[in-house]
Structure 1
Amino acid sequence: MNDPASIRRVADHFDLPVSTLHYWERRGLITPHRRFGHRYYDADQIYRIALIRLWRTTGQMSLNEIAAVLSEHADTADWRDTVTVRIAAIEAQMTQLDTARSYLRGLLTCPRDDALEHCEGFRDRVALPAEDQR
């Protein structure tokens, strides 16, 4: 791609509102070229937009995390720490989702349609509070 792409073309391509690209620009994440007051993006900026979109959706990274990773002033350890923390958070979320899926699959085998809190599979997983020692 030799010719810069207009903001509308880039927004449509990535299925983003134009306002999102404006916001990312204000945050310093992207830097469009300007021609007659209109924003245009070269190939490098388009790849950067693709990265930001990917990190927002699949990596579930906040804009602050993305800014830390993309910052030209961050040293390698800084952005690697940010990515390592994000990976740990995703792994914790995956564990929670696995637990939820397991519980819900077990719930489908419960013979009690009227009172799901009485299902053995559920009751086996819940610890009751200890009795008061008065």
Structure 2
Amino acid sequence: MKSIGEVAARFGLPAHVLRYWEAEGLLTPARAGSRRRYTDADLRRVAAILVAKEAGFELADIRSMLTDRSAAGRAAMAARQRERLRTRIARAQAALELIEGDCRHEDLMSCPHFQTLIDRQLDRS
């Protein structure tokens, strides 16, 4: 069993994050008096939370994913997250395209590359 400090250090997290996750129902470490004690299963759960966070899931979705026994429910959450990620990726690609345009015009509004991006935005709006 590990202390909150040991778990926090292992995952590079502040201890208050682990306490918050506990308050949100994501973790339920054992107690030895007033001290939290984390088992190997708890460590795996912390790792699972971090994996889901890296995929962009919000804590409420992560809690549902970890407690929902329905594969269909998890699949629906994954589908929603997939769409959110696709939207974020498209925005990031548009930003990258703007940056890579490396406009050298004195007036940004006269830059042909920037004009193309503006036209695309107008077409989408």
TM range (shorter): 0.7 to 0.9
2-structure distance, mates of 1:42, 1:28: 16
* Equivalent residue, structure 1, for 2:36: 39
- Secondary structure of the residue aligned to 1:61 is coil
In 2, distance between residues paired with 1:125 and 1:76? 41
Q: TM-score, normalization: structure 2?
A: 0.87
In the alignment, the residues of structure 2 paired with residue 7 and residue 43 of structure 1 have an alpha-carbon distance, to the nearest angstrom, of 13
The one of 38, 42, 61 equivalent to 1:65 is 61
Amino acid at match of 2:72: A
Amino acid at match of 2:10: H
Letter in 2 for 1:30: L
Counterpart position of 2:104: 111
The answer for unaligned runs of 5 or more in structure 2 is none
SS in 2 for 1:34: strand
Is structure 2 residue 46 aligned with structure 1 residue 49? yes
Work out the percentage of aligned pairs sharing the same amino acid. Answer: 26
Q: Which runs of 5+ in 1 are unaligned?
A: 130-134
| Runs of 4+ displaced beyond 4 Å | none
- What's 1:79 paired with? 74
User: What is the CA distance between 1:29 and its match in structure 2?
Assistant: 0.7
Q: Distance in 2 between matches of 1:82 and 1:68?
A: 9
Measured after TM superposition, the shift of residue 116 of structure 1 is: 1.6
SS at match of 2:31: strand
CA distance in 2 between counterparts of 1:42 and 1:89 reads: 34
Q: CA deviation at 1:32?
A: 0.4
Question: Whole-Å Cα distance in 2 between the matches of residues 101 and 11 of structure 1?
Answer: 35
- Greater helix content: 2
Cα drift, residue 92 of structure 1: 1.6
1:9 equivalent in structure 2? 6
RMSD of aligned alpha carbons: 1.8
Query: TM-score by structure 1 length?
Result: 0.82
- Whose Rg is larger? 1
